[in-house]
């Protein structure tokens, strides 16, 4: 089926009260992106007509999702007058002949998992799970390969309670079914809501073809609580790590490694245990050692860590950054920074060595300033470079030196130390009995 043959509607209007959060449920992150993002991304792989039904915190949802995608249709549900899943569909006008209805809290859905809805020909396609213990779920009664009815557990007979097929909550309708039955929905029920499942009942009564589609429970897992959120992130993280290992990335204890959806790798890379890689990070032919954090940065042919931190907008190429080094918004090319340093808002060129305890003092409490260091510079331990400062090529900065704003010219030695003073027998006087 082509993308212009199926429309997708994502129901994302609910509050998600069980999340116990002021944030809209569909905006909670899984592996660095809102769960609604993951659903839309998968949907766009099979359809060019995506509609998101919103209500709760609608402006926040629109703003966030629009930062990732263009050409997404947003429809605001009149939840006060037309609540429920059926109410969400009342103003939908799909372009294409098949309409797939997804839930905004199922972030593990993939385009492959949705393929069955495209391949099945029926007036209504209804997703089902088979559960060993279906307790608490409505049963889907299937006869001769057709869905006959959906029975809530409290209304089920003894034989119906033995049925293990339950409703997974995802449907595909022909456009004509949507147009005919959605206007006929009623809210005459205990919850006074309009239910999409009633469309199935009406269509069955009219003898339409309603096909069950067995789906993988994991891919259609709903998120209704913080525990569900954590469980889904574990599943998605395993998929992300497995994908990158299949491309050649070496991971040591991958279950301890957190990699967000936007991170990419090129070439053979190594990621050791306990690392966290976030944002739109690119790792190319590099080694990220244990316990390191890399945020929205680019690392090429370099090694980072252990226990190093690259904050956003860092660029490393042919560089060694060792333990307890923090880099922020800086470009390091051919640099060695072995340990215990802070490098912020800096540009450092090849052959330069940054000693232990070196700090670029880039912030005066009001503004940030830049440090520029040329080639083959040796910055001795425990030095402070007070930006804005420029250190030209072939310079030595003596250990313990404070370089104030300005320029250190090529070939120079910069040194600032107070004369050592020794007070004889001071220890005994200070600790005298």
Tokens of 398: 């003596």
**Rounded CA gap, 377 and 406, in Å?**
16
Helices then strands (H, E): number in the chain? Answer: 9, 37
- The b-or-e profile of 111-124 (16+ CB within 10 A means b, else e) is eebbebbbeeebbb
Q: What share of the chain is helix, strand, coil (3-state, %, to 5)?
A: 20, 30, 45
Residues in the chain: 433
Catalytic residue of the set 56, 243, 320, 339? 339
- Cβ proximity of 297 and 312 under 8 Å: yes
Q: Which is nearest to 377 in space by CA: 396, 405, 358?
A: 396
8 Å CB contact between 198 and 180 = no
- 3-state SS, 410-433, equals CCCEECCCCCCCCCCCHHHHHCCC
Distance, CA of 306 to CA of 335 (rounded, Å): 17
SS (H, E, C) 355-418: CCCCEEECECCCCECCEEECCCCEECCCCEEECCEEECCCCEECCCCEECCEEECCCCEECCCC
Query: Is 339 among the catalytic positions?
Result: yes
Beta bridge partners of 272: none
The token duo for 335 is: 């640099």
Q: Is the peptide bond before 306 cis (omega within 30 degrees of 0)?
A: yes
Contacts of 112 (CB under 8 A, 6+ apart): none
* Nearest of 176, 135, 172, 170 to residue 156 by alpha carbon: 135
Task: Kindly list the catalytic residues.
Answer: 339
């Amino acid at each position: 089926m082509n993308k212009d043959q199926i429309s997708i509607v994502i129901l994302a209007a609910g509050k998600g009260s069980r999340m116990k959060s002021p944030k809209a449920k569909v905006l909670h992150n899984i592996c660095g992106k809102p769960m609604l993002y993951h659903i839309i991304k998968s949907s766009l792989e099979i359809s060019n007509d995506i509609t998101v039904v919103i209500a709760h915190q609608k402006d926040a949802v629109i703003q966030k999702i629009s930062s990732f995608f263009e050409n997404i249709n947003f429809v605001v549900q009149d939840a006060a007058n037309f609540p429920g899943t059926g109410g969400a569909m009342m103003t939908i006008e799909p372009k294409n002949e098949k309409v797939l209805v997804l839930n905004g809290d199922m972030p593990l859905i993939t385009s492959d998992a949705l393929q069955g809805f495209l391949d099945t020909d029926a007036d209504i396609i209804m997703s089902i799970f088979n559960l060993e213990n279906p307790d608490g779920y409505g049963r889907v009664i299937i006869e001769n390969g057709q869905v006959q009815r959906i029975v809530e557990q409290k209304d089920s007979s003894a034989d119906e309670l033995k049925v293990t097929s339950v409703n997974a909550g995802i449907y595909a309708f022909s456009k004509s079914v949507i147009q005919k039955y959605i206007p006929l929905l009623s809210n005459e029920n205990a919850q006074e809501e309009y239910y999409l499942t009633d469309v199935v009942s009406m269509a069955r009564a009219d003898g339409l073809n309603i096909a069950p589609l067995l789906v993988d429970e994991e891919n259609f897992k709903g998120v209704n609580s913080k525990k569900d959120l954590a469980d889904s992130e574990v599943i998605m993280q395993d998929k992300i790590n497995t994908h990158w290992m299949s491309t050649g990335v070496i991971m040591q204890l991958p279950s301890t490694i957190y990699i967000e959806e936007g991170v990419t790798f090129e070439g053979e890379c190594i990621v050791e245990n306990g690392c966290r890689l976030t944002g739109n990070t690119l790792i190319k032919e590099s080694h990220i050692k244990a316990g390191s954090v890399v945020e929205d940065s680019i690392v090429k042919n370099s090694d980072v860590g252990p226990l190093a931190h690259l904050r956003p907008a860092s660029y490393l190429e042919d560089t060694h950054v060792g333990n307890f080094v923090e880099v922020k918004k800086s470009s390091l090319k051919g640099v060695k920074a072995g340990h215990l340093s802070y490098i912020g808002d800096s540009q450092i060129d090849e052959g330069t060595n940054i000693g232990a305890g070196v700090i670029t003092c880039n912030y005066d409490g009001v503004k940030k300033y830049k440090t520029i260091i040329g080639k083959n510079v040796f910055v001795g331990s425990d030095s402070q470079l007070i930006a804005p400062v420029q250190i030209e090529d072939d310079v030595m900065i003596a250990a313990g030196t404070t370089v104030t704003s300005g320029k250190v010219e090529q070939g120079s030695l910069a040194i600032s130390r107070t004369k050592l003073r020794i007070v004889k027998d001071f220890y005994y006087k200070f600790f005298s009995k």
